[in-house]
Amino acid sequence: ARSSHHLSHVSCEVESAHLDGLHGAPHSVPAKEVVALSTGVPSRAFTRAFAPATVLAPTTPSAPSAAPASDNKPKMHPALFAFIVSTAGLTSLAGLIVMFLVRIQHRLVYKPTSSWKGDPAMYGMPEFDEVTVVTHDRKEIVGWFIKQLDPATPPVGSAASSAADDIDEEARVDTDMAASTASYAESNIDQIEATAPPAHYTSCPTIIYFHGRDKNASFRLKKIAGLFEKSGCNILLLSYRGFGRSTGKPSERGMIIDATSALRYLINRGDVNAKNLWVYGESLGGAVAVKFTTKFQSRINGLILENTFTKLFDMVKVVHPELYIFEGISANKWLTLKLMPSISVPILFMSGQRDSFIPPHMMSRLFESSTQSTYRKIVRFPDGTHNRTWLTKGYYKYIGEFIEQVMTNKIPADRSVEVVHGKSSVVTDNSESEDEDGYPSTGLQPVPA
């Protein structure tokens, strides 16, 4: 009876425990498990029955424990980390600087203004047409076509205006200059006299004039007056895009489009001798003139260059040497020296030897590289500065002679000529005499190359 009572009690406890482990699932202990309990020898089934509930619950294999991250990853040396951070920062800064320079590069090269200095009539050139040329990229290029007078029409005023003012000065235009012809003539340092009676504009040569990098075409009107009188040519004077009243923004590509549009304008007029065209370029305008001439040599009779550089970044070395490293990304290169050997038309070089902006040796290099030109001549003005070479006595005379030599085919046997102009001065003293060849009476003569 005791044994029976004991087994009954154990059976109840086992059943209760097993029911708890299976969360209420009905179950009874097999007879052999009861027997095992009575004998004191637990069986495998008994062990499973009395195991904790967590043993009976389904389990998933656990992943092998990983070692701490700090034990597996190599540590970066602080100096290396600082180098990487600093390099990344400098690279980002350099990238921003490059992006900034690309955006403002045109502003560094070109210095236009919308200020206006009057019209040709104020400088003794009463016959002219207001010109607005529309380029193929829809920019409006503004300027004048200044026409030589009909012989029956008496000229108004003298050839040039006062020499006291530089073309870069912002001086007020004397609006009474054209009317006051007597004082206007006295103020001309060169006392220009026409080599022949004025021809009608339809039969005389025409000069396409390319100005420098600053201001606009109206600031060249004083200078143009002397060129107009001495050369006997019509003059097409336009402001590049972004200069003066012309629309758009300047760039090398855009300015060549402007130059091409100027040529198209002259050809389409129908009243201009399109077979007698000449090109004049001053400073950066010389670079424009050279590149333009290489494209249209068959239409150009001759090229005149004044104080022009070899290439733009040769000038950057002089003015902003720290920017020279950006030559490769610049959209403005103006490779004048590289283009010179491809020009075959006659070329006149007018070089101021006191030019402190464009070193005179650049003009010498351009002259030396123009090996294919049928006639090349360089005139060196000892006192000529960058902006005042044109004020030197005798300046226009060389231009007139050059045009006449080419037009009449009176080119010297030595087709490469170097001239050192005699004592020159920008003062208004006109008493210095000249010999029959047009040189001041100092005895200096042309020096053959």
Set 18, 106, 211, 386: catalytic member: 386
Set 355, 369, 373, 424: catalytic member: 355
Q: Are strands 140-146 and 128-134 parallel, antiparallel or unpaired?
A: antiparallel
User: ∠ CA 284-290-294 to the nearest 5 degrees?
Assistant: 155
Q: Is 283 a catalytic residue?
A: yes
Q: How far is CA 128 from each of CA 143, 201, 234, 321, 416, rounded to the nearest angstrom? A: 10, 10, 9, 43, 36
Instruction: Check if the beta carbon of residue 261 is closer than 8 Å to that of residue 141.
Output: yes
The whole-angstrom separation of Cα 208 and Cα 157 is 23
Is 442 strand, coil or helix? coil
Please give the DSSP secondary-structure letter assigned to residue 340: G
Long-range contacts of 171-177 (CB under 8 A, 24+ apart): 173/117, 173/118, 173/122, 174/122, 175/118, 175/122, 177/122, 177/123, 177/124
Q: Is 9 a catalytic residue?
A: no
The whole-angstrom separation of Cα 283 and Cα 362 is 11
Q: Is 424 a catalytic residue?
A: no
Strands (E), 198-259: 206-210, 214-215, 234-238
Set 161, 251, 261, 283: catalytic member: 283
The whole-angstrom separation of Cα 139 and Cα 142 is 10
Catalytic site positions: 283, 355, 386
